[in-house]
Protein backbone atom coordinates (compact mmCIF):
# COMPACT_ATOMS: atom_id res chain seq x y z
CA UNK A 1 0.00 0.00 0.00
CA UNK A 2 1.44 3.44 -0.95
CA UNK A 3 2.41 5.84 1.79
CA UNK A 4 0.00 8.78 2.09
CA UNK A 5 1.60 12.15 2.67
CA UNK A 6 0.05 14.43 5.28
CA UNK A 7 -1.85 17.41 3.90
CA UNK A 8 -0.10 20.75 4.30
CA UNK A 9 -2.81 23.16 5.46
CA UNK A 10 -3.32 26.36 3.55
CA UNK A 11 -1.36 26.40 0.36
CA UNK A 12 1.68 24.71 -1.08
CA UNK A 13 1.63 20.89 -1.16
CA UNK A 14 4.78 18.88 -1.91
CA UNK A 15 4.55 16.06 -4.44
CA UNK A 16 6.78 13.88 -6.61
CA UNK A 17 6.25 13.50 -10.36
CA UNK A 18 8.42 10.83 -11.98
CA UNK A 19 10.90 11.16 -9.06
CA UNK A 20 11.08 14.96 -9.50
CA UNK A 21 10.26 17.06 -6.42
CA UNK A 22 7.43 19.48 -7.14
CA UNK A 23 4.80 21.58 -5.38
CA UNK A 24 1.12 22.09 -6.15
CA UNK A 25 -0.69 25.32 -5.24
CA UNK A 26 -3.93 27.06 -6.10
CA UNK A 27 -3.38 30.49 -7.66
CA UNK A 28 -5.92 33.12 -8.65
CA UNK A 29 -6.11 31.48 -12.08
CA UNK A 30 -6.22 27.85 -10.89
CA UNK A 31 -3.92 24.93 -10.11
CA UNK A 32 -0.18 25.36 -10.68
CA UNK A 33 2.43 22.60 -10.31
CA UNK A 34 6.11 23.62 -10.41
CA UNK A 35 9.45 21.84 -10.05
CA UNK A 36 11.80 22.24 -7.08
CA UNK A 37 14.93 20.44 -8.30
CA UNK A 38 18.18 22.36 -8.82
CA UNK A 39 18.39 24.11 -12.15
CA UNK A 40 14.66 23.73 -12.80
CA UNK A 41 13.23 25.67 -9.85
CA UNK A 42 9.88 27.29 -10.68
CA UNK A 43 9.58 25.50 -14.06
CA UNK A 44 5.89 24.87 -14.70
CA UNK A 45 4.96 21.18 -14.87
CA UNK A 46 1.18 21.56 -15.10
CA UNK A 47 -1.60 24.13 -14.99
CA UNK A 48 -5.36 23.76 -14.79
CA UNK A 49 -7.64 26.77 -15.02
CA UNK A 50 -10.02 27.05 -12.05
CA UNK A 51 -11.45 30.57 -11.83
CA UNK A 52 -14.01 31.71 -9.26
CA UNK A 53 -15.80 35.01 -8.65
CA UNK A 54 -13.84 37.40 -6.44
CA UNK A 55 -10.65 35.37 -6.95
CA UNK A 56 -11.58 32.81 -4.27
CA UNK A 57 -9.33 29.82 -4.89
CA UNK A 58 -9.20 29.23 -1.17
CA UNK A 59 -8.64 25.49 -0.91
CA UNK A 60 -5.38 23.61 -0.70
CA UNK A 61 -5.00 21.01 -3.47
CA UNK A 62 -5.20 17.44 -2.20
CA UNK A 63 -2.29 15.33 -3.47
CA UNK A 64 -1.92 11.54 -3.63
CA UNK A 65 1.18 10.24 -5.40
CA UNK A 66 1.16 12.20 -8.69
CA UNK A 67 -2.59 12.94 -8.66
CA UNK A 68 -4.09 16.28 -7.62
CA UNK A 69 -7.68 16.85 -6.52
CA UNK A 70 -9.02 20.40 -6.55
CA UNK A 71 -11.19 20.49 -3.45
CA UNK A 72 -12.84 23.85 -4.04
CA UNK A 73 -15.99 24.38 -6.04
CA UNK A 74 -16.76 27.68 -4.31
CA UNK A 75 -18.58 29.87 -6.81
CA UNK A 76 -16.72 28.12 -9.63
CA UNK A 77 -17.50 29.10 -13.21
CA UNK A 78 -16.88 26.79 -16.15
CA UNK A 79 -15.35 28.64 -19.09
Q: Could you read off the pLDDT of 21-31 as tens digits, one per residue?
A: 999 998 878 88
Residue 44: pLDDT band with limits 50, 70, 90 = very high
For 9-73, the DSSP string reads TTS-EEEEETTEEEEEEE-SSEEEEEE-STT-TT-EEEEEE--BGGG---SPPEEETTEEE----
Q: Taking 70 as the threshold, does the pLDDT of residue 67 lie above it?
A: yes
Q: State pTM to two decimals.
A: 0.75
Amino acid sequence: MPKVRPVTPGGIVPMMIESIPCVAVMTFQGLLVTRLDAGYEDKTVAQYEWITDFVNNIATPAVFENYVLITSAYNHQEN
